[in-house]
Amino acid sequence: MSTIVEKPHLKEEPERPPTRLDALRSLLGQSDLGVLPILLGLVVIWGIFQLANPHFLSARNLTNLLLQAASTGTISIGLVLILLLGEIDLSVGAVSGLCGSIVAVLNVNNGVSGPIAVLAGLLAGLAIGLFQGMWITRFRIPSFIVTLAGLLGWQGTQLLVLGETGTINLRDPFVVGIANTFFPQLIGWLVGIIFVVIVIVSMLLERRQRMAAELPYRSRQAIIFRSALIAAAMIGSIAVLNADRGLPLAVIIFVGLIVLFDLITRRTIFGRHIYAVGGDPEAARRASINVNGIRVAVFGLGSMLAALGGILGESRLFAVNQSSGGSDTLLNAIAAAVIGGTSLFGGFGSVWSALVGALVIFSISNGMDLLALPSDIKFIITGGVLLVAVTIDAISRRMREVRGR
């Protein structure tokens, strides 16, 4: 392999005009195939379930699917951040259940107003995460162990908080409104258009800046191609949502958080340091990054997002009970992050994998529900999908290492 390299400097690639294939490649991400295999997988899954049950791709079912995905997907955003660090948080399911219960108990049993109860739930999540993060960094115990203890401990606390009644039904318009508000058609289109315009303008601005600085920049075709894809996806989604009840608030929250945390991870020092710690903690430490500070902050954020996921979940179901956040919440959240392409080994991945992964996981479970498959089969199939996703992660990691030589 001849690695002493081409000519003096650094113009990305040769003079040949960029073809559409190049645009496609740059869209998919430089080195890896990016999210393409997963999106293809999603199309295949949707195709299969549509053939098996024509209701699968109906506007109503897709909206429901998205609402289901929003709750666990929000938990998954936090898990992506934690996985980027090379850590794991097994307590996110229990924390989502506990914080949901705290909101319900405050609001229903103690008459605290909805917004304040929700705020208290979020702060409880933050406090739990900071506590676990400090425990992990202070005593240098693997996060796996501390958060496993957390899983049990917070589940117990949830039972304690819920007390005798077990199930609490929610009626507060604010709490219930979080997942049951749908915006009229016009607003849906407006939100979609604004989003697409912002994305295109920021791409053009970046191009102009890089041109002015004489750095390699994205070709016009690549930008047009990208914009067209994003616009098409947006128009499609809004059209589907509008055909049912309209754009749901929960989806705005979920996608908004993904955009927010995507910007934080890719465009800020904090985000850069998350990747650095996940890539090589020792190198990060020597670069005078506060490694433990980053870890604690991310565990705090992770648990707060778990709390929000729990609140979205109880709001959608109008109730919280002893099994909220239990059983497969944790595994679905981890599976979503990993299926979306975030590495379990730290340092590689993107917040968008929470969206893509949650869509895959909930497409499968929603589709199997529509087909009324028994739960034995559902568990087996979900397990198989997770195994395939983790294997792809391990293989692509090994390929990265081989390329590194």
Partner 1 sequence: MEASPRTPILELKGISKRFGAVQALKDVNFEVFTGEVVGLVGDNGAGKSTLIKCISGIYPIDAGEIFFEGKPVTITGPKDVGRLGIETVYQDLALCDNLDVVANLYLGREAINQNVHPLVSPLNEVKMEKRAIEVLKTLSVKLPSPRRVVASLSGGQRQSVAVARAVMWNSRVVLLDEPTAALGVAQSRMVLDLILQLKKQGLGVVVISHNLADIFEVVDRIIVLRLGRRVGTFMAGSTSREQIVSAITGAEFGEVEENNTANGSEGGMAG
Assigned token pair, 27: 């869209």
What residues between 249 and 278 interact with partner 1 by CB under 8 A?
263-264, 267-270, 272, 275-276, 278
* Cα gap 46→55, rounded to integer Å: 11
- Other CB atoms within 10 Å distance of the CB of residue 156: 12
Q: Does 21 bind partner 1 (CB under 8 A)?
A: no
The DSSP 8-state label assigned to residue 214 in this structure reads: T
86 with 277: CB under 8 angstroms?
yes
Q: Does 394 bind partner 1 (CB under 8 A)?
A: no
List the x/- string, 287-326, binding to partner 1 by CB under 8 A. Answer: xxx-------------------------------------
Of 30 and 110, nearer to partner 1 (C-beta) is 30
Minimum Å gap between C-beta 387 and partner 1 is 24
* Cα gap 241→247, rounded to integer Å: 6
Segment lying near partner 1 (by CB under 8 A), choices 38-46, 144-152, 286-294, 362-370 = 286-294
List the x/- string, 207-236, binding to partner 1 by CB under 8 A. Answer: --xx--xxxx--------------------
The interaxial angle of helices 59-84 and 249-267, nearest 10 deg, is 30
* Cα gap 310→313, rounded to integer Å: 5
In which element (H, E) is residue 64 found? helix 59-84
Q: Does 14 bind partner 1 (CB under 8 A)?
A: no
* Cα gap 206→204, rounded to integer Å: 5
Q: Does 4 bind partner 1 (CB under 8 A)?
A: yes
3-state secondary structure of 339: helix
Minimum Å gap between C-beta 86 and partner 1 is 10
Number of residues in contact with partner 1 under rule CB under 8 A: 43
List the x/- string, 25-64, binding to partner 1 by CB under 8 A. Answer: -----xx---------------------------------
Contacts of 51 (CB under 8 A, 6+ apart): none
Per the DSSP assignment, residues forming a β-bridge with 320 are 168
Binding site for partner 1 (CB under 8 A): 1, 3-6, 8-10, 12, 30-31, 209-210, 213-216, 263-264, 267-270, 272, 275-276, 278-280, 282-284, 286-289, 347-348, 400-401, 403-405
